[in-house]
Structure 1
Amino acid sequence: MTSPNPYSPQHHSSYGEAPSMEGQPTAHHGYSQHPQPVKSTRTGLYLGLGAFVVLTVLLGLRITGGFDFFGDSIQVTQNGSPAPSDVDFTGRQADDIGAPIGATVERGGVSITVGPIETRTGGYRDSEQFLCAEITVTNDGDESVRVPSSLDFQLQDPAGFGRSSSFGSGIEELESGQIAAGGSPVSGPVCFDDPEQSGEYVVLGNHLFGYLNKNRIGWVTER
């Protein structure tokens, strides 16, 4: 029987076995350790970008009048006396304000009045007839505010059809812009094609008190 070769690579002994390096200092790194996970900075980056976007949007809305009346209640008056704000009309939604034609709707020191609907002759041809309402905007607030344009209004006819203002009337209509705090009132008509119908008409205004304001305001009359 042959003796095991002490120099064979298969031969091991506790005496000749190389000591384990686990837990022992190394030449370059000291005691070996498991690598620690690196904390990701993506969450912080995303949060920072999100906050920047939100602030940018809020600033833009502030500049354009989006928050001019945030939190103020709406008041409706006519000839200096309180007027109803719940006048019903076709298609009225839960958040809509319904006011009689000629009433003034005020919020945050800014007032918008829609006068009676009148028939006017177009500026291009005498044969063309349009329905027009005079819009007056007054700013008694502390900051400049946006003046709505004719694009912010619709005329809902007795059939319930809402028509946009007519650009082909040839009538100089309400011009959008800004009114400084305490500035002079701005007035101008908004005009629509005449459907030649009898019944309920509603001058509907959208986002009149800022882009975030969802209340539609309807000035209601019969013709």
Structure 2
Amino acid sequence: MNQNSYVIGVIGGAGTGKTYMSKYLVEKLDALFIEGDQIAHELLKDHEIINGISEKFGADVIDHGEINRSKLGKIVFTDKQSLLELNQIMHGAMFKIIEKKIKTTDKKFIILEAAVMIEAGFSRLVHTMVCLKADKNLRLERLINVRSIDLRTAESILKSQRNDYADYADYIFDTSEGIESIKDDLEKMINEIREAEYEKNH
């Protein structure tokens, strides 16, 4: 890992506002943003990954040589064993890409957002962990309206995710009322993170 970088992890269930929070911190800290979902999407175009997924889940999840994320999602979000098998294929490759990005950036701060932060061991790369939570009905509403996911799929996604993110966090924020409602607490955290980074590197 880049010895001078300071990595802030953002965790929480779907619909808690992780991406919004990450972009807020990126702007405030002039940080590099590493988005786990984006890396996963890119990996789904990799031939080795495509072959591994096809072998595990069948040719039905492949359309014109590419992974059909909708079909794959319906399998893994309704069956825990299938989700574990997909994670075994994806997580190691994701870790290598994230680690390389951290090692090669010249940015002082890095924001790492990943839904699978804990399961995939990405937390080993993080100095400070920020957890977001929100009302369950609001999270469902966000998934349906923002991501255009149907109610049944949204409920399956929430059900498939862990509920102990807060156990791994240095900071916990409830985003049910939006980012504006927690801006004072966020500013306090950002100042503390700046101090921690300074102490680490001086």
Superposition TM-score, scaled by structure 2 size: 0.27
Q: Comparing both structures, which one devotes a greater share of its residues to helix?
A: 2
| Larger Rg over CA atoms | 1
Greater relative contact order (CA < 8 Å, ≥ 6 in sequence): 2
| Higher strand content, 1 or 2 | 1
Q: TM-score, normalised by structure 1?
A: 0.25
